[in-house]
Structure 1
Amino acid sequence: MGFITKKIHAYLDYPVAVALIVLPFVLGLGNSNPLALQLSVGTGIAAFILTLLTDHQLGVFRIIPYKGHLAVDALVGIVFVIAPFVFSFQGVDAYYYWIIGGSVLFVVSLHKAETTASL
């Protein structure tokens, strides 16, 4: 049974997007492969745009359904978990992707299903 609501998720989205952009520089990612830095920054920018376009409390344009947003989050989590294997990330580069990817998948798995009021 999940406990992360659509509203909680909305408030997590912007800080996570910013963290994906900033943390690679703070942690000095890219030593094993420059893509380790670039992938996170690019994903952070995309996540910020996705959040702006998502139909939830903090979405500005509300074009993308929330379920679609969750599907993209799950896909990002999977990509981040496998990226170290595919791109030969080592050390901090690999741990960063495994931790972030696992965390994203964990949060998505804790999503509380929305209920609709019956008439």
Structure 2
Amino acid sequence: MKPIINPLIHGYLDYFTVVVFLLAPSLFGLDGAAGILAYALAIIHLIMTLVTDFPLSIAKLVPFRIHGWVERIVGPVLLLTPFLFRFEGAARFFYFLIGATIIVVGLLTDYEATS
């Protein structure tokens, strides 16, 4: 599959992902561990986005290629999260959806492109 998402678009998608993680507890009714995890992932994703060497970041500390490898790990881990934490219902759906989305965006992103 040929990458079609450039670093700039990926940056916008990353900030959108942060917003999704922040809104998920309210939108999906995530409470307990599922909600806390969503907020924690919003913070972690925001920090990673802010320090990646690509457009829209503020400190270019992490090479975009490494950012891609992190996402290649995070996507599948999020797919496993409902099993690891025994999430049911909306929490299971949300973590499957966000994990699959991160995997697809990762497959479509050109992590070798320059900013």
Q: TM-score, normalised by structure 1?
A: 0.87
Partner of residue 18, structure 2? 17
C-alpha displacement of 1:66: 0.5
The structure with the largest alpha-carbon Rg is 1
Q: Between Structure 1 and Structure 2, how many residues are aligned?
A: 113
Bigger relative contact order, structure 1 or 2 (CA pairs below 8 A, ≥6 apart): 2
Superposition map of 1:21-60 within 5 A: 21-30=22-31, 34-60=32-58
C-alpha displacement of 1:115: 5.6
Q: TM-score, normalised by structure 2?
A: 0.90
Which ranges in structure 1 are unaligned for 5 or more consecutive residues? none
Task: Please state whether the residue corresponding to 1:112 is helix, strand or coil.
Answer: coil
| Structure 2 CA distance for partners of 1:99 and 1:45, relative to 1, 3 Å | same
C-alpha displacement of 1:97: 0.3
Given that 2:52 and 2:63 are in contact with CA atoms closer than 8 Å, whether structure 1 keeps it comes out as yes
C-alpha displacement of 1:38: 1.1
- The code of the aligned residue for 1:60 comes to I
Given that 2:24 and 2:35 are in contact with CA atoms closer than 8 Å, whether structure 1 keeps it comes out as no
Task: Please state whether the residue corresponding to 2:62 is helix, strand or coil.
Answer: coil
CA–CA separation in structure 1 for the residues paired with 2:65 and 2:107: 13
Identify the match of residue 88 of structure 2 among 87, 90, 99. 90
Given that 1:18 and 1:48 are in contact with CA atoms closer than 8 Å, whether structure 2 keeps it comes out as no
C-alpha displacement of 1:113: 5.1
| Structure 2 CA distance for partners of 1:115 and 1:67, relative to 1, 3 Å | closer
| Structure 2 CA distance for partners of 1:98 and 1:115, relative to 1, 3 Å | closer
| Structure 2 CA distance for partners of 1:88 and 1:2, relative to 1, 3 Å | same
Q: Which has the higher helix share?
A: 2
C-alpha displacement of 1:29: 0.7
Partner of residue 73, structure 1? 71
